[in-house]
Amino acid sequence: MAGGGAAASALSSPWRALLQRALDANAHLKHSTFFQLATVGAAGRPANRTVVFRGFQEQCDKIQINTDARSNKIGEIREWPLGEICWYFTDSWEQFRISGIIDVIDGSSLDPAKLQQREKAWFASSVKSRSQYLGQSPGVPVANDDHIKDVHIDPSAGPVDAYCLLTLDPEKVDYVNLKSNQRLMFTRTQEGDEFNDWMAEKVSP
């Protein structure tokens, strides 16, 4: 399972090399960085939405997602932190279903390392993307379009209260390549409370 160049040599997981290859092959398509994130919503009902891939956390395979701390999903994820990503690459006909535990990192975190991760992810986003967190709370009813105004943000200012970083720590990856009719299941082995290496198994598509 080969990835792309020097970046691939530093990858810690066999599925991540496949994902990097898919990202490279579909890089000319803007939507290739969009995927669906499913979580457990209110009353145990499924909740799904499209989000943007914001890269991997340094030194690990955790997938980063930016979101609004005022959205309903934050409370729901804190209550039930399980999630699954469904990511389809239209040019290479590859699908990744990545399930794991979601961590919510907002300004109230007591962990300095997590706050640093949040700040780094904030500055990695475009100024336009950052400005969306200065608007009204998501889901609030509006009577008209008067609330839609140009919002200006100081590019050097740190994360605002409404900005939240989600990280999904993968435990299982289901990979399907529709061109080659290949399906691989990657599972992290666990002993006690510690996760160890990944195991890969070929399964029927």
pLDDT at 143 over 90: no
3-class SS of residue 22: helix
**Percent over 90 (pLDDT), the chain:** 77
Helix (H) or strand (E) holding 195: strand 194-202
Q: Which pLDDT value is given to residue 34?
A: 98
What is the rounded average pLDDT of the residues 158-167? Answer: 97
- What is the spatial distance between Cα 165 and Cα 103, in angstroms, rounded to a whole number? 8
Q: Which pLDDT value is given to residue 55?
A: 96
Strands (E), 139-193: 163-177, 182-191
Look up tokens 């109230």; give the residue: 108
List domains and CATH numbers for the chain. 5-136+149-202 (2.30.110.10)
Among 153, 82, 163, which Cα is nearest to 122's? 163
pLDDT band at 3 (very low <50, low <70, confident <90, very high): very low
Among 44, 55, 197, which Cα is nearest to 123's? 55
pLDDT band at 193 (very low <50, low <70, confident <90, very high): low
Q: Which two tokens stand for residue 46?
A: 């499924």
pTM value surpassing 0.85: yes
- What is the spatial distance between Cα 132 and Cα 149, in angstroms, rounded to a whole number? 11
Give per-residue pLDDT as tens, 80-110.
Answer: 999 999 999 999 999 999 999 999 999 999 9
Q: Which pLDDT value is given to residue 139?
A: 80
- What is the spatial distance between Cα 48 and Cα 51, in angstroms, rounded to a whole number? 10
